[in-house]
């Protein structure tokens, strides 16, 4: 899927001061991404605080992004869970009009074996009307999807087209690139090692930092894909301090603080998450000012 090569962003769900969904800010954020060179947008992922949204709110967020994007960039929809039957049912019944693919996280909390992970995604693949991108994020799920399992799924399920690999392990990512078909997308899910992954043969990134600094980060990924290594690393080292900062007190508290300082959205998050501290907020404000010089 060449349309999903480059920079994707895991879009936040902006909230007003009263914690209601801020539709106006959401529209601004969509246009901010597209106007600054992002290649595609991921909707209702972890960064979008999917777990704390009601069913009605999820529908509103999804519809707003589809309408505001208006076909200008591809959209990917997050659908996942640790109840295989429920995920199967959701991918069959969900309105996926306007979306190009589904991003589905490896089952969390249950800590299944590699065989359990394989069987889960095989079921999801067969149920899905859209191509499926796997999502491996051991820090959140409690289990790691090994390269051999990914390669097996890529071989056995024709509509599993890629993986968002967020183990933070460049060695594991390189094994996934080596063991999967040439057209299988190994997408970075870790902002700090995005460029090394791209240079090793990865397809790009689904990023958090890129939505705050889309012009810079998408330029870096583009340069990496073009093998313009020195130019790409120049941008990497310019952005790297902000990557550490936005994750210092959890995601999406950090990136929402960036949007607050950019005047695009409030920094509200819903419990059990809390807003970034004043100290972190000031550090991010200083970084933004230094970047604009």
Active-site residue list: 135, 164
Helices 253-262 and 229-247 meet at what angle, rounded to 10? 110
Kindly give, in sequence order, each residue whose CB lies less than 8 Å from that of residue 4, ignoring residues fewer than 6 positions away: 39, 40, 74, 76, 100, 101, 133, 161, 162, 185, 187, 203, 204
**What is the CB-side half-sphere exposure of residue 9 using CA atoms within 13 A?**
27
In a 3-state reduction of DSSP, which class is residue 157? coil
Q: What are 229's two structure tokens?
A: 């290594």
Sign of CA dihedral 177, 180, 183, 184: negative
Q: Where are the beta strands (DSSP E) in 24-130?
A: 40-43, 75-78, 101-105
In the chain, what is the straight-line distance between the N-terminal and C-terminal CA atoms, in Å?
Answer: 37
């Amino acid at each position: 899927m060449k349309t999903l090569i480059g920079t994707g962003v895991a879009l936040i769900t902006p909230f007003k001061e009263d914690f209601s969904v801020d539709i106006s800010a959401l529209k601004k954020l969509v246009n901010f991404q597209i106007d600054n060179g992002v290649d595609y947008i991921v909707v209702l992922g972890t960064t979008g605080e999917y777990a704390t949204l009601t069913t009605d709110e999820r529908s509103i967020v999804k519809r707003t992004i589809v309408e505001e994007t208006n076909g200008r960039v591809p959209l990917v929809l997050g659908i996942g869970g640790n109840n295989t039957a429920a995920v199967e049912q959701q991918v069959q019944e969900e309105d996926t009009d306007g979306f190009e693919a589904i991003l589905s996280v490896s089952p969390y909390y249950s800590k299944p074996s590699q065989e359990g992970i394989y069987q889960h995604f095989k079921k999801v693949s067969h149920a899905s009307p859209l191509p499926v991108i796997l999502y491996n994020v051991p820090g959140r799920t409690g289990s790691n999807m090994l390269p051999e399992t990914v390669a097996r799924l890529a071989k056995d399920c024709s509509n599993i087209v890629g993986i968002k690999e967020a183990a933070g392990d460049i060695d594991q990512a390189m094994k996934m690139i080596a063991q999967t078909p040439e057209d299988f997308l190994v997408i970075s899910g870790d902002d700090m090692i995005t460029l090394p992954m791209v240079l090793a043969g990865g397809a790009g990134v689904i990023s958090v930092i890129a939505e705050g600094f889309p012009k810079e980060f998408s330029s870096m990924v583009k340069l990496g894909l073009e093998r313009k290594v020195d130019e790409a690393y120049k941008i990497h080292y310019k952005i790297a301090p902000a990557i550490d900062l936005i994750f210092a007190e959890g995601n999406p508290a950090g990136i929402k603080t960036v949007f607050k300082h950019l005047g695009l959205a409030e920094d509200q998050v819903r419990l059990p998450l809390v807003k970034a501290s004043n100290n972190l907020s000031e550090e991010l404000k200083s970084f933004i000012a230094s970047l604009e010089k």
